[in-house]
Amino acid sequence: MMIPDSCVHDSSMENGSIETPCTPEEERRIIEELTDKAEANLREGNLYYVVSSRWFMAWQRYIGKIEDDYPFDSSSVGPSSVASSCTKDRPGPIDNTDLVINEVKDKDEDLQLHRTLQEGHDYELVPEEVWERLLKWYKGGPVLKRKMISVGEQRKQFSVEVFPVHLRLIDSRDQSEAVIRLSKKASLRSLYEKVCQLKGLDPEKICIWDYFNKKQGTILVSCSQTLEESNVLMDQEILLKVPVDGVTRDSTGKSLAMVPVESTGSTSSIAGGPSMSNGHSTSYNSNTHEQITSTYGDMEDGHDGLKPEAGGDRGLAGLQNLGNTCFMNSALQCLVHTPYLVDYFVQDYSSEINKQNPLGMRVIVLGELALAFGELLRRLWSSGRTPVAPRVFKGKLARFAPQFSGYNQHDSQELLAFLLDGLHEDLNRVKQKPYIEAKDYDGQPDEEVADEFWKYHKARNDSVIVDICQGQYKSTLVCPVCDKISITFDPFMYLSLPLPSIATRSMTVTVIYGDGSSLPMPFTVNVLKEGNCKDLIQALGIACGVHSDEYLLLAEVFENRIYRYLESPSEPLAGIKDDEHIVAYRLPKRDADLTRLEIHHRYQDNDRKLFLTPFVTDLEDPQSGADIYLAVERLLSPLRRKEFYTSTSMDYSRENGSFSGNTCTDQLGPEIQSTGEIEGEGMPSKDFTFQLCITEDNCLAKLSSHFSWRPIMKNTPIRPSRLAKFLVEWTEKEHEIYSASYLQVLPEVHKSQIFANKSKQQEAVSLFSCLDAFLKEEPLGPDDMWYCPQCKEHRQASKKLDLWRLPDILVIHLKRFSYSKWMKNKLDTTVDFPIHNLDVSKYVKSNDGRHVYKLYAISNHYGGLGGGHYSAYCKLIDGENKWYHFDDSHVSPVSESEIKTSAAYLLFYERVKHNSNGTSDEPSEHLSPS
């Protein structure tokens, strides 16, 4: 791309002369064009470069690519960065040093990054052309080059491989170790070449073995098969053996005969089928007693028997953590202890593999996800107490669902949802899905409509997963305008229930009157701890007596400036911390378009820093500085000292109705009285001696000689805008006229008491209250509007869910994680859920008997969002009602009284079979819906 010479000049900086475009806008244009060009030509092998988010976001702010989420914030990392980064200065040289573990001596070797880094938070990825241009403009480094690879099998995606596979090469001759780094898409042949280059050996005369957990497993034959396909994992060991005259010798000198091995590809066996070798092609040398195995299976755990063994240890095998895979292990343990699935997968299910389903999970073998899960289930039930490494399953999972590749922590519920859906498609008995045209069911009974919907669903979806895990709920939408009712009956795989909070929180907010009619006043209200800003506004409105023609605008004030507005009613209160200062500006509701004024304060003799709490008010079409002076005097009027007031009346107004109201003289302090009349219609009083300044910048973090601000006079024209920021300069004269104490110190949201009693333990929430919250009628969100077929418009309809048909296996997802623009949050609310006799009959609208369930598994999540840990509680199918804690490899007994905790995340229930007399064999439990 050609760049005009006029757009380039030399800018002298500390690190030398750096070539730069003439304006930030030009930089933005050039980079956007280069980025668009790169994204239009995505292909495997393209180079991308890792750039520190800290530097990249500073550059984006400089060019105006992103605006600060908070009006005075730069990186949304917290108040500490406000003052230093609000100016849109040109960033310095690129600095990636915070991403790198350490320097390496070999200049050709890639620098290694910290494993905990996350894209979008710690680093950004830019195409090669963008990096070259940024490096030309800014210099710096270090250079962190990475390649784009293709991931996934069904729906291929491009992904930049930021973290290549690290393998620990162990030389059997002297037990020395070395690190090999390769792409997971690199072939085994490339691995041989890399090892031989490092060791100075001939590729034809060495042998490399999978040495996972330092146990010699399968031979890695030099071929085109990739590391990913060979189930080689990050940081695992591989073993190098070098033959001497055709004989391999280990560190002890023991001779090991080399046996030629040919890769068999990926033949697989069906659990319970005729082959019991799990797809391994084995050769055996009777002289050396060494078995050599080509890959397809979890041979590294030392178990190849597939028939579940009898005995007391059945089902007690743990799952090894392969690197942040506890989320997967937890969900898998719950599934492999599901009675119906165990019965299904230990039998021969080969006839159920759908070989024609385009949605099935296949790589080389059709239905491969079902095969991998089935083999893993059988291995877990045949391994006694020996932990199993689910390498094959993870490899298959990553290729079907690239979002679960790598070694970051994920959500066990998201994995469960994908796995159940994938197993269903692999095992779908419907070979060709028929097209079914939607019908109008107006006037038909619900029973008939529900049966029709279920029949159509089963005509396209028929598998063991549908048989045992899928239910049906009734969805009712009502148009708020024409009252049109729409009813559908939709399938579900699990229920995601919200957690209603009963814990309250005391919050102190200062209310400032936007019309200057009263002094600032703090109010303390109690709100739900897990509530939102709408709840806080409602509580404050009642406390301070907000009228129907007024509203409250919430804002956080930090270092005497508006740090952020809290304008979204759904914003969680969890985003407001106890040590913050929140102001509610009381403003009149207007139909017209208004200009919001932010009035900040600065004291001339105090290093020209901001002080006091800013004002916020609305004006309709301000024309000149006189309008602003009038508004500021109005806002300051309650602070006027007694000796300076001229009248008790405040009933002056503007033609446009911007100001109205009377002073609440009973709320004024001893030194404060109401303001005087304004002299001349629409003109400020003579006593007003402030100097006002206007800034056209979005930032007030630094006000200095080079900052873009200018004084305004009463006749200065004001350009129309949605937001205008002004600065009031105080002198000793103003301090004599006005008392600033009411704006000087804001109370914190909550002041913790050092000697206060510890808060009581939060009361548990009943599972039935979660069901009530899930099934209650509520309006759709603004982003989820419903198209009303009668109005022919999108409407914010009300929605009501009812359970209609329940499955034999009922999975309940407790929605502990919440996400918003400002905050990610986890709820540690304890949910009181039944273990025996969960009776949900009253929630089921169809008349098909009782619906009683018993608990058999729980997926737990401990800790916060960033890290955390998953484990599972499972009851053995034939374990005499004994519960066990499955914590990755570690499995231990646990009493039933210990399994109810605030960590419960996924609950797995099995329908209770009733006797002929209508009773169940389950012990009763005193917990029922109220």
Annotated catalytic residue, options 457, 750, 836, 869: 869
445: left (phi over 0), alpha (psi -120 to 50) or beta: beta
E-strand spans in 627-703? Answer: 691-695
Between CA 166 and CA 182 the distance in angstroms is: 7
Per-residue tokens: 733: 């004269």
By DSSP bridging, strand 495-497 and strand 809-814 are: parallel
Q: Is 326 a catalytic residue?
A: yes
User: Which amino acid, residue 144?
Assistant: L
- ∠631-633-634 over CA atoms, to 5°? 60
Which run of H or E residues covers position 561?
Answer: strand 561-565
Between CA 309 and CA 307 the distance in angstroms is: 6
Between CA 352 and CA 670 the distance in angstroms is: 86
Peptide bond into 142 cis (omega under 30): yes
SS3 category, 151:
strand
List b or e across 900-919, with b for residues whose CB sees 16 or more CB atoms inside 10 angstroms.
bebbbbbbbbbbbeeeeeee
Residue at token pair 């579940």: 308
Between CA 777 and CA 800 the distance in angstroms is: 4
Between CA 295 and CA 278 the distance in angstroms is: 10
Q: What is the DSSP string of 745-781?
A: -PPPS----TTPPPPPPPPPEEHHHHHHHHHS-EEPP
Number of neighbours of residue 617 by Cβ within 10 angstroms: 25
Is there a contact between 319 and 329 (Cβ–Cβ < 8 Å)? yes
Is there a contact between 874 and 883 (Cβ–Cβ < 8 Å)? yes
Per-residue tokens: 182: 């390769």
Enumerate the β-bridge partners of residue 208: 220, 240
Is there a contact between 560 and 610 (Cβ–Cβ < 8 Å)? yes
Distances, alpha carbon 192 to alpha carbons 203, 215, 240, 394, in Å: 6, 20, 10, 24
Please provide residue 13's backbone torsions phi and psi, each rounded to the nearest 5 degrees: -130, 175
Is there a contact between 53 and 124 (Cβ–Cβ < 8 Å)? yes
Q: What is the DSSP string of 582-623?
A: EEEEEEE--SS--EEEEEEEEETTTTT-B-SPPEEEEESS--
Is there a contact between 261 and 271 (Cβ–Cβ < 8 Å)? no
Is there a contact between 590 and 618 (Cβ–Cβ < 8 Å)? yes
List b or e across 250-278, with b for residues whose CB sees 16 or more CB atoms inside 10 angstroms.
eeeeeebebeebebeeeebbbbbeeeeeb
**Nearest in space to 494 (alpha carbons), one of 338, 602, 263, 378:** 338
Is there a contact between 270 and 348 (Cβ–Cβ < 8 Å)? yes
SS3 category, 322:
coil
Which run of H or E residues covers position 891?
Answer: strand 890-894
User: Which DSSP letter does residue 355 get?
Assistant: S
Annotated catalytic residue, options 207, 326, 334, 874: 326
Classify burial at 230, counting beta carbons within 10 Å of its beta carbon; exposed 0-12, middle 13-18, buried 19 or more.
buried
Classify burial at 399, counting beta carbons within 10 Å of its beta carbon; exposed 0-12, middle 13-18, buried 19 or more.
buried
Q: Which residues are catalytic?
A: 326, 869
